[in-house]
């Protein structure tokens, strides 16, 4: 952040004019010019002291209308600015915005309400602030810009797109969660009170049973047994372009599809694991709202790195129903050895792939599609998803 200059253009002009008049007065021996020159030279200095001398301190708190803001989404930021100063200065306030968002975060102080709208532009966790207050003297010769308050963290999550459901049920259970047994857990709220044990979450305390029994009771719940699905985001560094500090549009589309596909499968009743190509977990959706937020926050900061592993080692010994693999550049050699790992519904999305590579993975049982990397239109991403759903009958493997 560049430092504000202490004098305005008018102030510098006044100071330089005063100096020139002083020099001219000495050359021409004109005493009136000397008086005027001294006055013009001293006025900016006096104004600078008037602006800079008062001690000011302030507290800033910010409220954002949404805890998590998606790319392309708009949120309202309301700022409360408590300023302690000798008198109420007039000036312009400005909240410092990171590159992840954009908006008009400026206004007159103290006339305008301190609120503004920001639009998510880039995934990531960044900070809003500090709040800058720029004031000038009544003559407009000197100015002061001062930072107030702490910053506020803002998280921009990937844009999610409404995707079509799978056209057929995968496996015997399909996409419907089935209740299978009663045990201690945090599944659906089928309540059976039991005594509190060390390690139980206090969020599961059954207050009515606690009041009745006189000791802490918690909810024992039925666990939901859902068919498994897996979404693999191949963020191998070699498969994605890294154009300096700018985000890779293809990778942004891949992250958006990863989040959207996981949410789509969870909505259809699947128990979804989201991992990268090395098997590192990026999220797990088990029917809780906090699972969704945790996954989106993890995807907000994911970047291309590392190396890929064989898809069979990532999936493990138990093949899932739907398997979604999202990758970057898919060459012919990798396509030739890309196994479906026994998944019942393997879908593959590549940012770039030749016709031969697509034919090769199709021969291995994948249903491939190419990511729309030249556009940010959500409809294009939904169309790419739909184009990878040609199957009508799927047998569980």
pLDDT tens-digit series, residues 254-304 = 999 999 999 999 998 899 999 999 888 999 998 887 889 999 999 999 999
Task: Check residue 309 and give its pLDDT.
Answer: 82
Task: Check residue 173 and give its pLDDT.
Answer: 43
CA distance 159 to 70: 5
Range list of β-strands (E), the chain: 57-64, 68-70, 74-84, 91-95, 101-103, 106-109, 115-120, 124-128, 131-136, 143-148, 152-157, 178-183, 192-195, 217-225, 228-233, 271-276, 281-285, 322-330, 345-353, 367-370
Tell me: the pLDDT tens digits for 195-235? 877 666 655 667 667 766 777 777 765 444 447 899 999 99
Tell me: the pLDDT tens digits for 165-204? 987 555 434 454 433 333 333 444 445 677 877 666 655 6
- Closest CA relative to residue 370, chosen from 307, 316, 306, 326: 326
Task: Check residue 275 and give its pLDDT.
Answer: 92
Q: What is the DSSP letter of 159?
A: P
CA distance 48 to 52: 6
CA distance 33 to 126: 56
- Closest CA relative to residue 141, chosen from 276, 36, 49: 49
pLDDT of 1 > 50? The answer is no
pTM: 0.75
**Any idea which fold 228-387 has?**
Rossmann fold (3.40.50)
Binning pLDDT at 50, 70 and 90, where does residue 246 land?
confident
Are 36 and 83 spatial neighbours (Cβ–Cβ below 8 Å)?
Answer: no
Q: 207-236 burial, b for 16+ CB within 10 Å, e for fewer?
A: eebbeeeeeebbbbbbbbebbbbbbbbbbb
Domain range annotation of the chain: 9-52, 57-157, 179-224, 228-387
DSSP 10-29: HHHHHHHHHHHHHHHHHHHT
- Closest CA relative to residue 232, chosen from 315, 333, 123, 318: 315
pLDDT of 391 > 80? The answer is no
Task: Check residue 217 and give its pLDDT.
Answer: 78
CA distance 128 to 394: 49
Tell me: the pLDDT tens digits for 296-333? 999 999 999 888 788 888 888 777 789 999 999 999 98
CA distance 170 to 324: 13
Helix 378-387 crosses helix 249-267 at what angle (to 10 degrees)? 60
Task: Check residue 189 and give its pLDDT.
Answer: 42
350 φ/ψ angles, rounded to the nearest 5 degrees: -125, 140
170 or 131, higher pLDDT: 131
- How do strand 367-370 and strand 345-353 relate by DSSP bridges? parallel
89 or 355, higher pLDDT: 355
Helix residue ranges, H only, 268-373 = 289-300, 311-315, 332-336, 355-363
Task: Check residue 159 and give its pLDDT.
Answer: 93
Task: Check residue 186 and give its pLDDT.
Answer: 40
Binning pLDDT at 50, 70 and 90, where does residue 396 land?
very low
Coil, helix or strand at residue 44: helix
* Residue 4, both tokens: 């504000």
pLDDT of 253 > 90? The answer is yes
**Any idea which fold 57-157 has?**
Immunoglobulin-like (2.60.40)
């Amino acid at each position: 952040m560049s430092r504000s200059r202490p004098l305005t253009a008018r102030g510098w002009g006044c100071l330089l004019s005063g100096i020139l008049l002083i020099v001219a007065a000495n050359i021409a021996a004109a005493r009136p010019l000397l008086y005027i020159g001294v006055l013009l030279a001293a006025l900016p200095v006096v104004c600078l002291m008037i602006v800079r001398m008062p001690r000011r301190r302030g507290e800033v708190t910010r409220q954002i209308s949404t805890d998590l803001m998606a790319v392309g989404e708009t949120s309202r930021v309301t700022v409360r600015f408590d300023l302690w100063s000798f008198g109420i200065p007039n000036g312009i306030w400005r909240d410092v915005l990171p590159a992840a968002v954009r908006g008009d975060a400026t206004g007159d102080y103290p006339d305008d309400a301190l609120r503004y709208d920001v639009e998510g532009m880039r995934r990531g966790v960044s900070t809003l602030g500090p709040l800058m207050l720029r004031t000038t003297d009544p003559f407009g010769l000197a100015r002061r810009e001062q930072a107030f308050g702490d910053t506020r963290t803002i998280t921009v999550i990937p844009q999610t797109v409404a995707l079509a459901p799978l056209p057929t049920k995968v496996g015997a259970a399909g996409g419907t969660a089935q209740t299978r047994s009663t045990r201690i857990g945090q599944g659906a709220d089928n309540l059976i009170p039991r005594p509190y044990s060390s390690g139980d979450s206090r969020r599961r305390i059954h207050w009515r049973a606690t009041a009745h029994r006189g000791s802490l009771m918690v909810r024992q719940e039925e666990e939901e047994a859902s068919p498994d699905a897996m979404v693999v985001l191949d963020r191998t560094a070699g498969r994605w372009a890294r154009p300096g500090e700018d985000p890779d549009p293809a990778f942004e589309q891949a992250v958006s599809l990863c989040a959207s596909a996981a949410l789509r499968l969870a909505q259809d009743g699947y128990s979804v694991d989201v991992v990268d190509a090395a098997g590192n977990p990026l999220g797990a959706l088990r029917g809780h709202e906090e699972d969704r937020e945790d996954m989106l926050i993890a995807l907000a900061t994911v970047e291309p790195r590392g190396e890929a592993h064989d898809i069979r080692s990532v999936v493990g010994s138990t093949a899932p129903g739907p398997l979604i693999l999202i990758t970057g550049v898919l060459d012919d050699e990798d396509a030739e050895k890309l196994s479906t790992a026994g998944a019942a519904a393997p879908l593959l999305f590549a940012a770039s792939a030749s016709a031969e590579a697509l034919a090769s993975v199709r021969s291995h049982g994948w249903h491939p599609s190419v990511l729309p990397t030249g556009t940010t239109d959500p409809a294009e991403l939904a169309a790419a998803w739909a184009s990878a759903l040609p199957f009508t009958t799927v047998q569980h493997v």
